[in-house]
């Protein structure tokens, strides 16, 4: 896509900020995913869904075509804006990435027996009677012995990583402007996908934890976006 726009516009020096942003965001997302690949093993895709039709078709067919819509649009419809707008969109994507990666890091470390906020802690059920390190992540222990995080990012919502991922998806589309809804199809589809995943996860957890899940939902009432949803 980069080469195609460069050829059409007379060289790489004429490639738009919008194209550079989209391709930089996507390349960084891929590199980050490869670097943090061990964390994939604690995601819902692996722990709950498993490999099947949805994951195979999604990764091999759906993702390559849908995720490239923005860059393909910019090849034929270049969008021009200045460095300040580019910096604002870059910062917006950075915010989404920070939420996404920090939240996933907390979850991955916690599931692997490491409290991300403190290595020297004594784990236990959250209680006002229990003296804890103030930097230690708190959690709720179910009757089955499972531990559900109730502080940090996971105290703000039950799926904070989804919120960060959605912000990044929006940042990928903002460089295309607002002349067509086509480049925002990814954002819309992704929002539907995340809400569907959240509802499936809630349903599975309700079956798994029973009344403990209702207690947990009172402790962490927001699903994805803190104080909104």
d(CA 108, CA 56): 24
Euclidean distance between CA atoms 55 and 200, whole angstroms? 15
Output the pTM of the full model. Answer: 0.78
Task: Using alpha carbons, list the distances in angstroms from residue 91 to 21, 25, 114, 168.
Answer: 11, 11, 30, 10
Distance CA 100, CA 113 (A): 20
Whole-angstrom distance, CA of residue 116 vs CA of residue 157: 18
For residues 18 and 78, the answer to whether their CB atoms sit within 8 Å is: yes
pLDDT string in tens for the chain (229-residue length): 777 777 777 877 778 888 889 999 988 888 988 887 776 776 766 777 677 787 788 778 887 888 888 988 888 888 888 889 999 999 999 999 999 988 888 887 777 766 655 433 333 444 433 434 545 678 888 888 888 888 888 888 999 999 999 999 999 999 999 989 999 998 998 899 899 989 988 888 888 888 888 888 989 999 999 889 8
């Amino acid at each position: 896509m980069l080469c195609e726009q460069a050829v059409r516009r007379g060289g790489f020096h004429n490639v738009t900020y919008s194209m550079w942003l989209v391709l930089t965001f996507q390349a960084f997302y891929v590199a980050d995913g490869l670097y943090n690949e061990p964390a994939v093993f604690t995601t819902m895709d692996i722990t709950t869904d498993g490999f099947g039709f949805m994951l195979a078709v999604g990764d091999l067919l759906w993702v390559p075509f849908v995720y490239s819509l923005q860059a393909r649009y910019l090849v034929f419809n270049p969008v021009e804006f200045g460095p300040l707008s580019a910096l604002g969109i870059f910062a917006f994507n950075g915010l989404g990435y920070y939420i996404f990666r920090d939240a996933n890091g907390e979850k991955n470390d916690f599931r692997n027996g490491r409290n991300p906020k403190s290595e020297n802690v004594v784990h236990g059920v959250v209680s006002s009677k229990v003296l804890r390190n103030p930097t230690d992540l708190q959690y709720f222990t179910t009757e089955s012995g499972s531990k559900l995080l109730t502080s940090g990012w996971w105290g703000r919502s039950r799926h904070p990583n989804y919120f960060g991922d959605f912000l990044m998806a929006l940042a990928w589309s903002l460089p295309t402007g607002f002349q067509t809804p086509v480049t925002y199809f990814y954002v819309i589809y992704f929002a539907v996908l995340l809400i569907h995943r959240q509802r499936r996860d809630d349903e599975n957890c309700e079956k798994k934890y029973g009344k403990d899940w209702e207690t947990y939902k009172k402790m962490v009432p927001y699903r994805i976006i803190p104080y909104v949803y």
